[in-house]
A and B are shown apart, each in its own frame.
Chain A
Amino acid sequence: MRVKFLKLSSISLITSSCIVSVLLFTILLLTPSVRCGAEDEQAIILLREVYSKLAEAEASGADISNASQLLNEALTLLKSMDVNPEDREMLLQEAIKIVNYVDSMIPTLIDEGQKNIFMRNVYMVLSVSSIVSSIVLAYLLTPRIFWSLWLKARRNWLVKVSGKSGRGSIDRRRG
Chain B
Amino acid sequence: MIDDEVKAVIMAIIIVGGALSISQMVLSERISEPFSALGLLGPNMKIGDYPKIVLVNQTVNLYLFIDNHEGRTIYYIIYVKLGDKLTEISENKSAEALILYTYEVILPHGMNTTIPVSLKFSNPMTNARLIFEMWIYDSETRAPRYHGRWNQLWLNITAPTTA
Contacts and interface: CB of A to CB of B under 8 A. Distances in A.
B10 interface: yes
A79 B15 contact: no
Contacts of A135: 14-15, 18
Contacts of B10: 138-139, 142
Contact of B73 (A54, A131, A134, A139): A54
Contact of A52 (B7, B18, B21, B139): B139
Contacts of B7: 143
A143 B144 CA distance: 63
Contacts of B14: 135, 138-139
Interface stretch (A5-13, A68-76, A85-93, A156-164): A68-76
A48 to B, nearest CB: 6
9 contacts: A51-B106, A55-B72, A68-B73, A69-B108, A124-B26, A127-B25, A142-B10, A143-B7, A146-B2
Contact of A147 (B1, B18, B103, B105): B1
Interface string B9-45: 0110011001001100110000000000000000000
B75 interface: yes
Nearest to B102: A79
Interface residues of B, number: 24
A134 B107 CA distance: 42
Among B103, B106, B107: residue with most chain A CB under 10 A: B106
A54 B21 CA distance: 33
Given A72-B106, A79-B104, A56 B139 contact: yes
A147 B2 contact: yes
A65 interface: yes
A59 B107 CA distance: 15
B139 A55 contact: yes
